[in-house]
Amino acid sequence: MGAPARPPEQVLSYARLLAGRVSGSLGGRLRAAYLHGSAVLGGWVPDRSDVDMLFLTEDGIPGQEVTAAAAVLAARQPACPGRGLECSVVTAGQAARPQAPWPFLLHVAHDPGADRARIVHGDERPGDPDLLMHYAVCRAAGWPVRGPAPGELIGSVPRPAILGYLAGELRWGLEHATEAYAVLNACRARVFLADGRIVSKVAGGTIVLSQGLGPAAVIGRALDQQQGHAPSARPGRDAADFVTAVAGALRSAAGQAPDRRP
């Protein structure tokens, strides 16, 4: 997997300031803070990208400090340089031994257009499957805003679990997201399937296009949409065929049964 790209300076400055405030809310019990997602994978687009962060605390953190951290993360200050903040807070023990159901302390998201941040406490649900991929991306390319290199604190996620997750994400994308999201996620999944690299959506599309691993017209269209050169659209039939084929290859490699849904 590739080395992390230095995040855009405005993202890094925001992340540092936010990490400092979270550390204060936790009484100094913050072990590490990592930037991940497009800001470190090289696909950052200010009006289209979230700032993705993962915070690791000491084990046994008091509930009132988790609540205080939620208030800090939900605040709109400092101003986020992207579409919004998307972050999770986990304990060091949870991160060191990542496994289903992927428990967490806190998840906070600044959804575009929403007046208030979305806050989910870990005791409200068994876990968050998305953490599986957050851990994998952090290990591959996370930028340590605070703390040591991610691989020192975050355990590895089994490859079959990642493949199964990616396949499910592709199905979700076809049903709920834009063509660019579905197709370019299929491209980045195709790259991971081939050589284990975790790349941005744009990089995935570029790699698959250059290596002839997918339909050029579909991928070119998705890249234009992602980069703002064409309007967003729902996945076309040709796009759906490509995404479905990649999802099938992922499930096969993960040892899962084929998806029989229409």
Give the pLDDT confidence of 105-117 residue by residue, as tens digits: 999 999 887 889 9
Q: Average pLDDT of the chain?
A: 93
Domain ranges for the chain: 9-153, 159-254
**Helix, strand, coil % over all residues of the chain, rounded to 5:** 50, 15, 35
Q: What are the helix and strand counts (H, E) for the chain? A: 11, 6
pLDDT mean over 114-126? 92
Give the pLDDT confidence of 49-69 residue by residue, as tens digits: 899 999 999 999 999 999 999
What is the predicted pLDDT for the residue at 99? 94
User: Residue 33 is encoded by which pair of tokens?
Assistant: 């803070």
Scan for tokens 């890249």, then name that residue: 223
Give the pLDDT confidence of 176-207 residue by residue, as tens digits: 999 999 999 999 999 999 999 999 899 999 99
- Arch. (CATH architecture) of 9-153: 2-Layer Sandwich (3.30)
Beta carbons of 40 and 5 less than 8 angstroms apart: yes
Beta carbons of 35 and 7 less than 8 angstroms apart: yes
**167 sits in which H/E element:** helix 159-176
Give the pLDDT confidence of 220-254 residue by residue, as tens digits: 999 999 888 999 999 999 999 999 999 999 999 98
